[in-house]
Structure 1
Amino acid sequence: MVLDTSALSEVDRPVYEWLRDHFGTEPQNFRRQLRWRISWEADVEIDGRLQGVLVRGARGKATRYPITLHQEGQIHHVMERHGVLAPKVYGMIEDPVAIVMERLPGTINTELIEDSADRAKVRREFIEALAKLHAIPVGEFGAIGLTVPKSARDLALNLYKPCIDIVRAAFVDRPFPLTEFYALWLERNAPEDRDRPGFVTADAGQFLYDDDRFTGLIDFEVSYIGDPAAEFAGMRLRDTTEPLGDITELRKYYEALTGDKIPLRAIAYHSAGFAGTNSMLMWPMMFKPEVQNDYVAYLQFCVATSRWGLQGIAESLGVRLDNVPDPEANSAVPYDAAPEQLINMMTSWETDDTELRFHLDTAAVLGRYLQRCALYGGGILAADLADAAALTGQQVKTRREADAAVDAFVRAAGPEEDRTLVAFFNRWLSRQNFLLMGCGSQSYLTKTTLQPIKA
Structure 2
Amino acid sequence: MIKQADATLPRDPATEEAAIAAWLERELGCSEVTIRRMHRWRPIYEAEAVRDGKRERYFLKGERTWPTHPYPLKYECDVQRVLSQSGIRVPEIVAWIPDPATIVMEWVEGGRDAGLIQQAIESGSQMTPDRWHASLTYMDRLAEVHAIPVERFVAAGAEAPSDNADLMLANFERFDAMGRDAGISDPFLVFMGDWLRRKCPQNLAGSAFLTGDCGQFLSDGPEVTCLMDFEIGHIGDPMRDLSCYRGRHPIENMGDLPALFERYAKSSGTPIDWHGMAFHTVAFLTEAYYGPLIGLHDEGPGGDWVESFVQVAIIGRRALEALAEMEGIALDEIALPEPEQTPLEDLALARLSAEISRLPDHDQMQGWQRKVLGSLPQMLANIGHYSRWRDDSYLADIAELTGKACGGVADADQSLQGFIANAGPQDDAALVRILHRKLLRDCLIIAGPNASADHIALAKIEPVLHLAKEARAG
Say yes or no: does 1:36 pair with 2:41: yes
Residue equivalent to 2:76: 72
The question of whether the paired residues in 2 share the 8 Å contact of 1:155 and 1:195 is answered with no
Deviation at 1:189, TM superposition (A): 1.1
Residue equivalent to 1:223: 233
RCO comparison, higher one (Cα < 8 Å, 6+): 2
Residue equivalent to 1:287: 297
Say yes or no: does 1:103 pair with 2:112: no
Residue equivalent to 1:4: none
SS of the residue corresponding to residue 15 of structure 2 reads coil
Which ranges in structure 2 are unaligned for 5 or more consecutive residues? 1-12, 115-124, 468-474
Residue equivalent to 2:93: 89
The one-letter amino acid paired with 1:228 is: P
Distance in 2 (CA, whole Å) between partners of 1:46 and 1:335 is 54
Distance in 1 (CA, whole Å) between partners of 2:23 and 2:301 is 26
Deviation at 1:28, TM superposition (A): 4.8
Query: Residue 160 of structure 1 is aligned with which of 168, 172, 179?
Result: 172
SS of the residue corresponding to residue 196 of structure 1 reads coil
Say yes or no: does 1:149 pair with 2:154: no
Say yes or no: does 1:247 pair with 2:251: no
* CA-to-aligned-CA distance 1:150-185 (integer Å, 9 cap, x gap): 22221110210111122233336xx41011111111
The one-letter amino acid paired with 2:252 is: E
The one-letter amino acid paired with 1:122 is: A
Say yes or no: does 1:193 pair with 2:198: no
Say yes or no: does 1:267 pair with 2:272: no
1:309–1:429 distance in 2 versus 1, CA, 3 Å: same
TM-score (norm 2): 0.86
The one-letter amino acid paired with 1:167 is: G
SS of the residue corresponding to residue 436 of structure 1 reads helix
Residue equivalent to 1:361: 371
The question of whether the paired residues in 1 share the 8 Å contact of 2:127 and 2:254 is answered with no
Distance in 2 (CA, whole Å) between partners of 1:28 and 1:285 is 31
1:105–1:47 distance in 2 versus 1, CA, 3 Å: farther
Deviation at 1:48, TM superposition (A): 5.8
The question of whether the paired residues in 1 share the 8 Å contact of 2:211 and 2:233 is answered with yes
The question of whether the paired residues in 2 share the 8 Å contact of 1:200 and 1:223 is answered with yes
Distance in 2 (CA, whole Å) between partners of 1:48 and 1:243 is 41
Residue equivalent to 2:21: 16
Distance in 2 (CA, whole Å) between partners of 1:233 and 1:27 is 44
Deviation at 1:122, TM superposition (A): 1.4
Distance in 1 (CA, whole Å) between partners of 2:456 and 2:84 is 34
The question of whether the paired residues in 1 share the 8 Å contact of 2:69 and 2:175 is answered with yes
* CA-to-aligned-CA distance 1:90-116 (integer Å, 9 cap, x gap): 1211222111111212111597675x3
Distance in 1 (CA, whole Å) between partners of 2:73 and 2:455 is 30
The question of whether the paired residues in 1 share the 8 Å contact of 2:213 and 2:233 is answered with yes
Deviation at 1:195, TM superposition (A): 5.7
TM-score (norm 1): 0.90
Say yes or no: does 1:337 pair with 2:341: no
Deviation at 1:272, TM superposition (A): 0.7
Distance in 1 (CA, whole Å) between partners of 2:286 and 2:301 is 25
1:448–1:19 distance in 2 versus 1, CA, 3 Å: farther
Say yes or no: does 1:446 pair with 2:457: yes
Length, aligned pairs only: 439
Deviation at 1:296, TM superposition (A): 0.5
Distance in 2 (CA, whole Å) between partners of 1:432 and 1:162 is 27
The question of whether the paired residues in 1 share the 8 Å contact of 2:76 and 2:230 is answered with yes
The question of whether the paired residues in 1 share the 8 Å contact of 2:208 and 2:238 is answered with yes
1:243–1:373 distance in 2 versus 1, CA, 3 Å: closer
The question of whether the paired residues in 2 share the 8 Å contact of 1:27 and 1:42 is answered with no
Residue equivalent to 2:224: 214
The one-letter amino acid paired with 1:311 is: E
* CA-to-aligned-CA distance 1:201-245 (integer Å, 9 cap, x gap): 121110011122111111111221110011121112333343221
Residue equivalent to 1:3: none
Deviation at 1:328, TM superposition (A): 3.5
1:249–1:438 distance in 2 versus 1, CA, 3 Å: same
Distance in 2 (CA, whole Å) between partners of 1:129 and 1:108 is 17
1:109–1:334 distance in 2 versus 1, CA, 3 Å: closer
Residue equivalent to 1:54: 59
Deviation at 1:22, TM superposition (A): 3.1
The one-letter amino acid paired with 1:159 is: N
Query: Residue 388 of structure 2 is aligned with which of 363, 378, 384?
Result: 378
Deviation at 1:260, TM superposition (A): 1.4
The question of whether the paired residues in 1 share the 8 Å contact of 2:68 and 2:294 is answered with no
SS of the residue corresponding to residue 136 of structure 2 reads helix
The question of whether the paired residues in 2 share the 8 Å contact of 1:55 and 1:101 is answered with yes
User: Which piece of structure 1 moves more, 34-43 or 414-423?
Assistant: 34-43
Deviation at 1:64, TM superposition (A): 4.8
The one-letter amino acid paired with 2:27 is: H
Deviation at 1:265, TM superposition (A): 1.3
1:335–1:66 distance in 2 versus 1, CA, 3 Å: closer
The question of whether the paired residues in 2 share the 8 Å contact of 1:126 and 1:214 is answered with yes
Distance in 1 (CA, whole Å) between partners of 2:348 and 2:153 is 55
SS of the residue corresponding to residue 364 of structure 2 reads helix
The one-letter amino acid paired with 2:229 is: D
Query: Residue 311 of structure 1 is aligned with which of 317, 321, 327?
Result: 321
Two-structure CA RMSD over aligned residues (Å): 2.5
Deviation at 1:35, TM superposition (A): 3.8
Distance in 2 (CA, whole Å) between partners of 1:27 and 1:420 is 61
Residue equivalent to 1:302: 312
Distance in 2 (CA, whole Å) between partners of 1:327 and 1:187 is 37
The question of whether the paired residues in 1 share the 8 Å contact of 2:325 and 2:463 is answered with no
